[in-house]
Amino acid sequence: MNIYILNNSFRYVRFGLLLIGLFLSTMVLAQTSPIKGKVADESGAGLPGATIRIKGKTGATASDANGNFAIQAVSNDVLIVNLIGFTAQEVPINGRPQLSIQLKPSVKELGEVVVVGYGTQLKKDLTGSVSIVNTKELKKTSASDIGQLLQGRTAGIAVTNDGQPGASPTIRIRGLASFNNQQPLYVVDGIMLSNTPRDFSPNDIESMQVLKDGTAAAIYGAAAANGVIIITTRQGKKNSPLSIEYNTYFGADKIWQKIPVVDRAGYQLLNNESQLNGGQTMAPANDPASPKYIGNIDTDWQKEGLKTGYRMNHNLNFSGGGENSTFNVSLDYFKQGGTFVGNGPDYNRYTGRINTTQSKGIFKFGQSLSYTHSKENSLTFRGDVLTGGRPPLINDLVIAIPTQLVYDPTMPNGYGGTQSDRERAISLNVPAVNSMFTNFTEVDRIFGVAWAEAQLLNLNGHSLKYKVNAGYDKTIARDFAFQPTFDLGFFFKQTVNRLDDNSRTYTNALVDNTLTYDKKFDKHTFNAVLGVSYNKNTALVRSGHAEQLDPNYLVLGNGSNKTVDGSLTPYAFFGLFGRLNYNYDDKYLLTANFRRDGSSRFGYGYKYGNFPGISAGWRISKEAFIHLPKWITELKLRGGYGQLGNANIGDFRYLALLNPNIVYNFNGTKVTGGAQTNVIDPNIHWETKTTSNIGIDATFFDGAIDLTAEYYNNKATDALIGEPIPASVGSNDTAPLTNAASIRNTGIEINIGYHNNKGAFTYNVSGNLSTVKNTLLALSSGETSRIVGGFVNTVGHEIGRHYGRVVEGVFQNADEIKNHAFQNAFTAPGDLKFKDISGPDGKPDGVINDLDRADLGSSLPKVYYGLNFTAGYKGFDFTLFLSGAAGNLINGSLYRTLMHTTDYLNYHEDALNRWTPANPNNEYPRLAANDPNQNGIESDRKNWLQKGDYLRINTISLGYTIPKLKVKWLQSIRVYATAQNVYTFQYYKGYNPDFAQTRPFEPGYDPGSFPTPRTLMMGLQARF
């Protein structure tokens, strides 16, 4: 019995030991261990930044600067390796502690997903004109506005800038096509913006596409006539651990250009000569014989008024995701301190963003919420205070006379000024104005997007999805301007202080509902989208004014002479849209778009417009019967036709306005009545832009070279234009809008790139070039030509050509004057000689007048281009970016003012070469007060029109990613130095040859753009 019990006991012990052994062995099998490896390209060079995650699990890491990685995994796990530009790989561990993973480059990423209107497409399937912007390269530069980063980056986009911090650029896609708002439509995370994206951080951008033709943009219909820029913000990735990124830079800004003006001696010499030649007397301050003569002041206003500015950016980003959700959270701070002495201009912006997605079964959800607070101290200018039609303050700074002090303790405010009985000059002390005045705009903007998607059908190859996308964009702006009492000398005095405290609230609400159907059978692939969109905007503007305030308590209620005003303007549009994509055998591609839009900006019977688009593509390289050379990897021919609408004209322009407070007298009795105050065209309707283009997309040598080339022909018809009417009509609007004009733009666009990603030394070279030929096809009814300032707009020619008199030289003596056509009774040797071109009968008549004006050249650039070079070697990276334009002439207000003959302003050094009896040159005329010969009139005299051709070195950047980091929680760290706006090769004697063009009839006129500074930056990028 005892033996039996003992045997049974041993049996249980053996069974227990077996269970323990099995359990321990299972634990050993399932135990994770460190798996190390290297991710490399086909040549064996390490690839940094590759994502390595465990299939079906949450573990993930990234390769370092040399491609090395380490991850905790089980011996039978499978690793998934991803890197942009390379084909993803699944790598079984199979018990190996060390892995060597080689990635193959994708062929120009033909499988790249491109965001288009209300959906996505593979890049290889695109048939419309869509440019994909390299956002990685964008982030190597610093800018306050996303739009500024597009300059020179892709063909067909012209970006012109003002150098002020916070200034928004002017963007034109494929030429000047409207006399109204020409800015493109921005779509952020599926929501059409009603204003610019300046309040968003460039660090939040994941991708950016530009839709340039009607076939690509027709699905946005009414809003897309000027092109569409689609921006998608960063999202987290599923099955990824928390990733933390910190990016920062600090830079110094310096105005590197200096306008060459004369010093005190030069100013007094030239001004005295001008006054005496014009029969005037010398100003006492310039007369050595006067007790008021100034000989000890020689102010360099550009030195005194400009300073070194700075800029900085801090960005913190958190991202990651699980099996069913993702998140991306970012915090951003940008500050740019200006280069002008005083309160501005400068710009501060705080941005926070949260993007999340969730999925459960057939449902997907997503949210995007951002908040921005910004404050811009703009360069102070008040037309109601600085009267007399003052130029921009940068011009006032440069033209200020050198015999004027910056600081003068004898003056009430401590700043120098001029006197009418001493200098006689109306010369503004700009640093004083910019230091004493307060002028800022504070903006709070909330931008939110929420979407939900349901997979309604997924059966037998049929897929049907429903998606609702709702967006809300609210901007609240406060415009604050305070002018204190001041005495800055002659013409610039105010004994009453003034406060303007205004607010603007813009609300944009949008809801899109879409159904997306996908079906693939045999060689046929279908994709169809149907949708409905509703958008409502309101603009609420309030203004308040008060005077005689206590400077220590600046609120409107603390003043007198108070006035208030306000307006509320609603705007809404409604759209139905659809798109069909068809692909046969991955060879033949067809896309058809249609949108019907209604806008509240047009009257009854004209609110709705239809905007179709169709395009097709042929992937020639897929044809078996076409035997292309082996070096042609991909070749696609595509073309399209489409129509777009434009309603960017302001609100209620089709309605007449009434003044209800008109007093009438009937038989001695006063009666209050009303009267219409403006003439309108009640039948105004959509501008229509018809686009057609044909192009090729190609890659060569297995993706080493890629090429896109296309020709476009865009025609805007029924373009809304102001039709001038006589002032005697009594309308407040002397040019009511009507659909009458027509504009055509044609050109070619080329994008080409070469990529060498093999070996330790890698590099990429990409370039783009675009041409624009603009033709004005029609003006308002019966009008064949319109002259605006020094520009003529003639049917059959391009918009805004320079217009004026033709200069044949300079009169050297009285005999030349006598033997030439009559110009003026006071014409004298040293005056310009104008060509006698025409008279009342169309022939030269011996008299110089306005009939002798001629076309003097183009004000629109004909060519835009950009070149980008990047290279990498063992952790080092280098970038060089150039851009430019050519083919236009510029009318620069600043230069012309400095070459004046009549005022008490400073002079350009070119004036030292003016005609005198001792210097009988044939280029620059004499100086004579009151300009009796009209030498300053619109003409082609030397430098009156200057070549706008330029080549700018935009960016030079050198970075280094530190290898073999031994800190486990720090994945990578990169340091870099960048020089921005390094140098501009230009003929233009002003600051910016690419000044912001905002006048459609005068595109070549530069009223005085603020100089763009040169920036030297140091930065750090770290990933945790």
CATH of the domain at 92: 2.60.40.1120
364-421 pLDDT tens trace: 999 999 999 999 998 877 777 787 788 899 999 999 999 999 999 999 999 999 999 9
Is residue 304's pLDDT more than 60? yes
Give the model's confidence band at 998: pLDDT under 50 very low, under 70 low, under 90 confident, else very high. Answer: confident
CB 983 within 8 A of CB 953: yes
Q: What is the pLDDT of residue 20?
A: 40
Strands 807-810 and 832-834 turn out to be antiparallel
Residue 43 binned pLDDT confidence (cut-offs 50, 70, 90): low
Range of weakest confidence among 108-117, 126-135, 361-370, 544-553 = 108-117
pLDDT averaged over every residue in the chain:
90
Q: Write down the pLDDT at residue 105.
A: 64
Contact 94, 75 (CB under 8 A): yes
The share of the chain scoring above pLDDT 90, in percent, equals 65
pLDDT of 414 reads 94
Domain assignment of residue 344, yes or no: no
pLDDT tens readout for residues 474-502? 999 999 999 999 999 999 999 999 999 99
Q: Which pair of structure tokens corresponds to residue 916? A: 């005198």
Is residue 45 assigned to a domain?
Answer: yes
Domain enclosing residue 46, as ranges: 35-102
- Which has the minimum average pLDDT: 68-82, 249-263, 486-500, 628-642? 68-82
Alpha-carbon Rg for the chain, nearest whole angstrom, is 34
Residues contacting residue 27 through CB under 8 Å, at least 6 positions apart: none
- Cβ(152)–Cβ(193) below 8 Å: no
Per DSSP, the residues of 362-429 read: TEEEEEEEEEEEEEEEPPP--TTTSTTT---HHHHHHHS-TTS-SB-TTSTTSB--B-TTTT------
For 757, phi then psi, to 5°, come to -110, 20
Q: Are 694 and 710 in contact (CB under 8 A)?
A: yes
Would you put residue 652 in left (φ > 0), alpha (ψ -120 to 50) or beta? Answer: left
Question: Who contacts 581 (Cβ-Cβ below 8 Å, separation ≥6)?
Answer: 121, 125, 525, 526, 527, 528, 589, 590, 591
Nearest to 451 by CA among 234, 189, 119, 120: 189
List, for residues 429-458, the tens digit of each pLDDT value: 999 999 999 999 999 999 999 999 999 999
How far is it, in rounded angstroms, from Cα 1020 to Cα 976?
6
Task: With cut-offs at 50, 70 and 90, classify the pLDDT of residue 14.
Answer: very low
Token pair listed for 307 = 């300073």
Element (H, E) at 22: helix 2-30
The predicted pLDDT at position 1 comes to 39
Our CA angle for 776, 778, 779, nearest 5°, is 100
The reply to whether 60 falls in a domain is: yes
Distances (CA, A) of 597 to 224, 534, 541, 602, 939: 11, 10, 27, 12, 46
- The answer to whether residue 810 sits within a structural domain is no
Q: What's the confidence (pLDDT) of residue 818?
A: 95
Kindly state whether residue 87 falls inside one of the protein's structural domains.
Answer: yes
- Domain tally, the chain: 1
In a domain, 89, yes or no: yes
Q: What is residue 557's three-state secondary structure?
A: helix
Nearest to 793, CA basis, from 864, 724, 712: 724
28 pLDDT higher than 50: no
Judged against a pLDDT cut of 70, whether residue 31 lies above it is answered with no
* pLDDT value of residue 11: 47
In whole angstroms, what is the distance from residue 189 CA to residue 208 CA?
11
What backbone torsions phi and psi does residue 850 show, to the nearest 5 degrees?
-65, -15
pLDDT 10s digits, 887-937: 999 999 999 999 998 889 999 999 999 999 999 988 999 999 999 999 999
Determine the pLDDT at residue 669: 85
Residue 517 contacts residue 474 (beta carbons within 8 Å):
no
- pLDDT recorded at residue 108: 44
* Token pair of 440 as six digits: 């800022």
pLDDT at 12: 42
Each residue's pLDDT tens digit, 283-299: 999 999 999 999 999 99
pLDDT at 460 over 90: no
Closest of 513, 643, 521, 525 to residue 580, by C-alpha: 525
Instruction: Inform me whether the pLDDT recorded for 27 exceeds 70.
Output: no
Q: What b/e sequence results for 524-558 when a residue is b if at least 16 CB atoms lie within 10 Å of its CB, and e otherwise?
A: ebebbbebebebbbbbebeebbbeebeeeebeeee
Range with the poorest average pLDDT among 44-58, 323-337, 449-463, 858-872: 44-58
The token pair at 436 is 């004493």
Q: Which residue has the higher pLDDT, 237 or 138?
A: 237
Taking only the tens place, the pLDDT of each residue in 651-671 is: 888 888 888 888 888 888 888
**For 707-735, what is the mean pLDDT?**
89
Confidence of residue 840 (pLDDT cuts 50, 70, 90): very high
CB 819 within 8 A of CB 835: no
Query: In this predicted structure, what is the pLDDT of residue 993?
Result: 95
pLDDT band for position 67 (50/70/90)? confident
Question: What is residue 991's predicted lDDT score, i.e. its pLDDT?
Answer: 95
Q: Pick the more confident residue, 674 or 332.
A: 332
How confident is the model over 916-930, as pLDDT tens digits?
999 998 899 999 999
Cβ-contact 450, 490 below 8 angstroms: no
Q: Is residue 85 part of a domain?
A: yes
Reply yes or no on whether the pLDDT at 22 is more than 60.
Answer: no
CB 563 within 8 Å of CB 542: no
Q: What pLDDT, on the 0 to 100 scale, is given for residue 146?
A: 82
- Comparing CA positions, the residue from 154, 266, 218 lying closest to residue 911 is 266
Q: What is the DSSP string of 500-520?
A: EEEEEEEEEEEEEEEEEEEEE
Proportion of the chain above pLDDT 70, given as a percent: 95
What's the Cα-to-Cα distance from 109 to each of 171, 187, 222, 763, rounded to whole Å?
Answer: 28, 24, 32, 17
The reply to whether 59 falls in a domain is yes
pLDDT at 884: 96
Q: How confident is the model at residue 62 (pLDDT cuts 50, 70, 90)?
A: confident
